[in-house]
Structures are given as C-alpha cells and as structure tokens.
Amino acid sequence: MRTDAGTGARRPREISYAQAVREALREELRRDSRVFLMGEDVGIYGGTFGVSAGLFEEFGSDRILDTPISEAVLAGAAAGAALTGTRPVVEIPFSDFLTLALDQIGNQAAKMRYMFGGAVRVPLVVRSPAGSGTGAGAQHSQSQEALFCHFPGLKVAVPSTPYDAKGLLKTAVRDDNPVVFLEQKLLYKVSGPVPEEEYLLPFGKADVKRAGSDLTIVTWGRMVGLCLEAAERLAAEGISAEVVDPRTLVPLDSGAIVSSVAKTGRLLIVHEAVRTGGFGGEIAAIVADSAAFPLLKAPIRRVAGFDIPIPYSPVLERNAVPTPERIEAAARDLVGRTATV
C-alpha cells in the first residue's frame, strides 16, 4: 500500500503489466525450486520485451535458460521437462511463432494427461506476447487465441490488467495442466493497482469490469481497455454498457456471460483477432444456446479485426482491429440510437 501525500489515505501501489508478470515469475521461482523459465533471450537480455529483466541475475543459468532459436525444440523440451516433475515456464517472443510449436503444444502436451488416464501431470506454461500495435508487421502482430482454445487439454488465459496478469500467471504456474498465457504487447507499459501481498485468481471466473443495464460487451485482453473507454463515452449519451472480461477463455465462465446478457438483453462481442473463426463466434453460439437467447432485444453483434494480415502502416494497423469508434457505433446501433450531436 502507498500513502496519498494530500489526504494521508492509504492507496494500492500501481505497477505496470510487465512488472506484474515479472513479479509473478519471481515469486513463483522463489516459492518452488521446480519452477524454471526458458526461452529465447530471457536471460542476460531480459526477454524480447524486457519482462524477465533481473531474473537471470537472481536465479542464475540453471533456472533462467536461454535457448536456441527453435520454438519446436523449446516447447518439446519443456513438455518433456514437465512430465519429469519440473514446472517449466516457456517464453515465445511473439505469439505468431507458436505455430512453429503447435505439434508439441497442441498434439502432445495437451493430450498426455488424458492419454495416460491422469497418471501424469503436464505443468507447463507457455507465455507469449500477442496482438498488434507495435508496427511489427503481419508476421509478428496476430491474435491467435481461438486456435489454442480448439485443443482439448489446453487452458488459455488472456489477462487485460496488471492485477489480472499477476494473479492468473501465479495460478497458471501452479496448475498441473498446460496453459497458453497470452500477453498483449501494448499492455506491458499500462499501469494499474496490484496488491503487495500474495494473491491468486481462479481460472474460469469472469470479471465484470463495469456494470451496466442496456447492453453487455464481452471482451478480453487489450480490447477491455478500449471497451471501457467506449462505455464511458456511451454513458454520457445515456447508454449503460456492462463490460464483462472472461479473463480465461478455457475454462470459460459462460454462466457470467449468460447472466449478464439475460439482464441487459443485448450482446456485443469485441476481440482483436480476425472475425472469421474468432472466439467471439463461440461466445455467440453459447448465448444462442442458452436461456438468455429468448430475452435478446436485438441480434448479437461482433466487432473484430478485419480478415486481413496486420498492415505495417501505423494508420492501417490501427484501423485493422477494433477502434473505440467502431465499438461505440456498434453499441449505439444495438440500442437503437445514433450519436449525440
């Protein structure tokens, strides 16, 4: 806790998303000697985005392992290490490169516990920066969370705040199943309140980031912040938007989503990933199959990334994914209102 200089009141400290992830890693490395971090440039360099800075100096080369540039070998070695009783955390520098390790993650690690009838555990966390916004071009800017949700046996977390990032990562490290943990690049410098005392956040428990009554916005990752900004402006027009962040897509808190939609009667799904095959379609199907469906006052809407590779041009890149303007326009349309002039 920190003390406010003006009032003397105690307030939570604020740290960045990157610091929250690093703090979670440091605490778990200290807590359990079986935990280790491995990846490309995670040691002396401190990680592609500086998240692991300082860990090599504290824990040494036996616990912070720099690896060759081979995602397939990296993920395969980590899966094997997990099977032998250690708890590896793997950093892949861009989530786009997870496709190079798809067999090891989705076809091996995800299936082993089931195939051995629960006799083995696969406590593996695969961390990776995801999403656009850094001018990194089409091969380093994708949002591929839906791909990993398709593999039974994998858990998928997409935290949107420093608080969620730390609590969910600590839970992921302690889980006995493989977890794909996606960190949106533009969130690394975003700060927010994070308690100094230890805490964990459960998987499969959504968080209502903002309560509302006119429509439900379901979103995750970086889009949560954009939707909250949009909700604030919509409130000035008399539109009350409830923003629901699943925090984990697998397991998914479908009950919280259905409950919110039943209350508001409208559903807007927002995600950065491309629209076709995006996880938003799954959420729409869940609501369509639920008791909330007959309570809908308008068709379910999605605001998603366009079905194009992410452009290198900053202007085109910004507009290839949902913008606050697109989110607000869709919300107004759902409640049957136009912008206030």
Q: What is the CATH number of the domain that holds 297?
A: 3.40.50.920
Does residue 307 belong to any structural domain of this protein?
yes
Q: pLDDT digits over 172-186, tens only?
A: 999 999 999 999 999
Same domain, 23 and 122: yes
Per-residue model confidence (pLDDT) at position 341: 30
Same domain, 221 and 179: no
Same domain, 45 and 168: yes
Q: pLDDT digits over 11-57, tens only?
A: 789 999 999 999 999 999 999 999 999 999 999 888 889 999 999 99
Of 22, 87, 113, 140, the catalytic one is 140
Does residue 202 belong to any structural domain of this protein?
no
CA distance 287 to 259: 10
Q: Which amino acid is at 298?
A: A
Same domain, 308 and 164: no
Does residue 280 belong to any structural domain of this protein?
yes
Task: Name the helix (H) or strand (E) containing 252.
Answer: none
Q: Are 156 and 168 in contact (CB under 8 A)?
A: no
Residue 128: beta bridge partners? 182
Per-residue model confidence (pLDDT) at position 340: 40
Residue 108: beta bridge partners? none
CA distance 10 to 298: 45
Query: How far is residue 82 CA from its own chain's centroid?
Result: 23
CA distance 23 to 272: 27
Same domain, 218 and 139: no
Q: Are 231 and 188 in contact (CB under 8 A)?
A: no
- Chosen domain end from 141, 169, 193: 193
CA distance readout (Å), 66 to 25, 76, 121, 172, 192: 16, 15, 25, 21, 30
Q: ω before 93 within 30° of 0 (cis)?
A: no
Does residue 232 belong to any structural domain of this protein?
yes
Same domain, 185 and 213: no
The total number of structural domains that make up the chain: 2
Same domain, 187 and 212: no
Q: What angle do CA 272, 275, 278 make, to 5 degrees?
A: 80
Question: 140 catalytic, yes or no?
Answer: yes
- Chosen domain end from 132, 163, 193: 193
Same domain, 118 and 154: yes
> Which residue is it, tokens 């089931």?
114
Domain limits for position 292: 207-335
Does residue 33 belong to any structural domain of this protein?
yes
CA distance 11 to 18: 21
Is the entire prediction scored with pTM above 0.85?
yes
The CATH number assigned to the domain holding 42 equals 3.40.50.970
Same domain, 182 and 250: no
Alpha helices in 11-158 (DSSP H): 17-31, 55-59, 71-83, 102, 110-115, 145-149
Q: Which amino acid is at 11?
A: R
Q: Which of these, 11, 92, 13, lies nearest to 51 by C-alpha position?
A: 92
Q: What are phi and psi of 307, to 5 degrees?
A: -80, 65
Does residue 199 belong to any structural domain of this protein?
no
CA distance 155 to 198: 22
Asked whether residue 337 carries a pLDDT value surpassing 70, the answer given is no
* Mean pLDDT value across residues 89-110: 95
- Chosen domain end from 169, 193, 217: 193
Q: pLDDT digits over 25-37, tens only?
A: 999 999 999 999 9
Q: Which of these, 38, 41, 204, lies nearest to 124 by C-alpha position?
A: 38
